[in-house]
């Protein structure tokens, strides 16, 4: 298994028009909830890009996250709590046949490295 950082920062394209800079410590429970939802949305968008890529490349996932930009994502996402890149672990052969993404940010009431997204389970919020 190979584990790498997503090379890039920014946010995935979204319909939100918010321009507020995310903070590591939310001011309210509502803000913490919104950051968690945004993080999960980023993970889902990244997974969608990987899945579309795999349909174009004989059911194999990209060996480097940068291969999904700009054709499948404009930019690679980062966690809204701290603007850090998501970690990616590829599994299987080369090119990979599975993946896990996880957050390096810190979300209230969640264990470190959560939420996660795996190619076979989808979103996992708790261990």
Residue 36 exposure: Cα atoms within 13 Å on the Cβ side: 20
Q: What is the pLDDT of residues 99-116, one digit of tens each?
A: 888 888 788 778 878 888
The percentage of the chain sitting over the pLDDT mark of 70, rounded to a whole number, equals: 79
What is the distance between the alpha carbons of residues 88 and 4, in angstroms, rounded to a whole number?
5
Q: Decide: residue 93, CB within 10 A, 0-12 exposed, 13-18 middle, 19+ buried.
A: exposed
Q: Is residue 69 part of a domain?
A: yes
Domain that holds residue 70: 2-12+25-124
Higher-pLDDT residue of 31 and 70 is 70
Q: Are 91 and 100 in contact (CB under 8 A)?
A: yes
Q: What tokens does 31 get? A: 């803000």
In a domain, 78, yes or no: yes
Say if 19 falls within a structural domain.
Answer: no
Per the CB < 8 A criterion, the answer to whether 113 and 102 are in contact is yes
- Could you tell me how far CA 119 lies from the centroid of its own chain? 12
User: 117 in a domain, yes or no?
Assistant: yes
* Residue 20 within a domain: no
What share of residues in the chain are helix, strand, coil (percent, to 5)?
25, 15, 55
Q: What is the pLDDT of residue 94?
A: 75
Tokens at 65, concatenated = 């996250």
For the segment 12-57, what is each residue's pLDDT rounded down to a tens digit? Answer: 333 333 334 444 566 788 888 888 888 889 999 999 999 999 999 8
pLDDT for residue 92:
77
Q: Does 114 reside within a domain?
A: yes
Q: How many domains does the chain have?
A: 1
């Amino acid at each position: 298994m190979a584990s790498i950082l997503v090379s890039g920062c920014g946010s995935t394209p979204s319909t939100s028009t918010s321009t507020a800079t995310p903070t590591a410590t939310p001011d309210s429970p509502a803000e913490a909830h919104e950051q968690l939802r945004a993080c999960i949305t980023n993970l889902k968008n990244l997974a969608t890009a990987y899945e579309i890529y795999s349909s174009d490349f004989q059911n194999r996932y990209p060996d480097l996250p940068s291969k999904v930009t700009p054709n499948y994502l404009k930019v690679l996402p980062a966690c809204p709590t701290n603007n850090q890149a998501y970690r990616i672990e590829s599994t299987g052969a080369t090119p990979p046949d599975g993946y896990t993404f996880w957050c390096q940010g810190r979300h209230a009431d969640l264990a470190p490295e959560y939420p996660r997204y795996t190619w076979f389970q989808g979103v996992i919020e708790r261990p």
